[in-house]
């Protein structure tokens, strides 16, 4: 079943990218750096892609506030119920993608207690979710998306946001 979900995810991403190449929409998205009380960071593993490990995130629906989308994406990708507020905004990043411009709002929160992520086993997109100590992020079974790794490093070191994703 996991193999079927992986193939379905690749096909869905290909179809989405084909539509975006024609429509060239300006996409708005969110990402969230979620740390537990011990400083470990929540990462989710996509079923496919050049950098499967990322921080939770996704698109902002029409009429949806960024912080609401951030809470929704954390739940959809990890099963965790976490409330994000507008005050948790860390920074806004614009990326010049070859097929569509993209603006990503990044939120950062630290949980008051340790939680165990439990993504849906039927998720088309997410294969795994877990908290990882920052020192172990580069030794995962696959790579962490470089922009996500930059945001994690900045947030955990209390550095100002860089200008590039």
| Number of domains within the chain | 1
| Residue 115 belongs to a domain | yes
Closest residue by Cα to residue 43 from 145, 156, 112: 145
| Residue 162 belongs to a domain | no
| Residue 127 belongs to a domain | yes
Q: Mean pLDDT in the chain?
A: 86
| Residue 161 belongs to a domain | no
| Residue 149 belongs to a domain | yes
The model scores a pTM over 0.85:
no
pLDDT digits (tens, 9 = 90+) for 53-99: 999 999 899 999 999 999 999 999 999 999 999 999 999 988 765 66
Q: How far apart are CA 129 and CA 53, in angstroms?
A: 9
**Domain of 133, in residue numbers:** 2-156
**Structure tokens given for 92:** 């806004």
Contact status, residue 61 vs residue 137, Cβ threshold 8 Å? no
More confident residue, 159 or 20: 159
CA atoms within 13 A on the CB side of 106: 25
| Residue 122 belongs to a domain | yes
| Residue 98 belongs to a domain | yes
| Residue 141 belongs to a domain | yes
Q: What's the CATH number where 79 sits?
A: 3.90.79.10
Q: How far apart are CA 147 and CA 80, in angstroms?
A: 23
In this predicted structure, the answer to whether residue 36 has a pLDDT above a threshold of 90 is yes
């Amino acid at each position: 079943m996991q193999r079927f979900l992986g193939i379905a995810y690749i096909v869905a991403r290909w179809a989405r990218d084909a539509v975006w190449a024609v429509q060239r929409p300006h996409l708005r998205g969110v990402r969230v750096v979620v740390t537990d009380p011990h400083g470990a960071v929540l990462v989710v593993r996509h079923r496919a892609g050049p950098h499967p490990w990322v921080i939770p995130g996704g698109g902002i629906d029409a009429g949806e506030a960024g912080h609401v989308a951030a809470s929704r994406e954390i739940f959809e990708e990890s099963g965790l119920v976490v409330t994000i507020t507008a005050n948790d905004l860390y920074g806004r990043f614009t990326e010049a993608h070859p097929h569509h411009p993209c603006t990503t709002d990044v939120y950062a929160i630290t949980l008051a207690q340790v939680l165990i992520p439990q993504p849906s086993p039927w998720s088309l997109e997410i294969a795994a979710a877990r908290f990882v100590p920052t020192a172990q992020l580069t030794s995962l079974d696959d790579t962490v998306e470089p922009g996500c790794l930059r945001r994690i490093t900045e947030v955990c070191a209390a550095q100002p946001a860089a200008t590039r994703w």
